[in-house]
Amino acid sequence: MAEAKETVTVETVVNAPIEKVWECWTDPKQITQWCFASDDWEAPGAQNDLKVGGRFTTRMSAKDKSAGFDFGGVYTNVKNLEVIEYDIDGDGRHVTIAFAKSPEGIKVTETFDIENENPKEMQRRGWQSILDNFKKYTESNK
């Protein structure tokens, strides 16, 4: 029996229509505007083939060019306007993103398998920061 992986869940509520939230999450031109954890980082490039078996890659780099990496994976489940699941390149960690209507807007819930290099709380903060950037970007670009 496979060992259960430890997961972390982060979430936010975006005050925008589901179609807008989905577009901002999946359109490469928009991904580059929000997919980074702090103001001294950026996402200079993104590619997205949003279908089961499709690949995505987002380039994340420090604005001063001191560090950078490609974050990518392969989609394992895509239900339009509802859910996206993928396995991360390299270590196969799994990620699920659920989009659900709520009275306040669209609740985006992201659950991911943690990696072993960084503390769990550090990973949670990083992923939450990216999700907070997504909320801010989506709500300010109506």
Query: Considering the domain boundaries, does residue 27 fall inside one?
Result: yes
Please determine, for residue 4, whether its predicted confidence score (pLDDT) is greater than 90.
Answer: no
52 in a structural domain: yes
- How many Å apart are CA 56 and CA 46, to the nearest integer? 7
> Does residue 88 form part of some domain?
yes
**Which residues form the domain of 63?**
7-140
The predicted model scores a pTM of 0.93
Residue 86 lies in a domain: yes
Interval 112-125 mean pLDDT: 94
**1 domain residue, yes or no:** no
CATH label of the domain that carries residue 105 = 3.30.530.20
> Is residue 1's pLDDT more than 50?
no
Number of domains in the chain: 1
The string of pLDDT tens digits covering residues 63-90 is 999 999 999 999 999 999 999 999 999 9
Residues 27-36 as b/e (b if ≥16 CB within 10 A, e otherwise) read ebebbbbbbb
Give the chain's length. Answer: 142
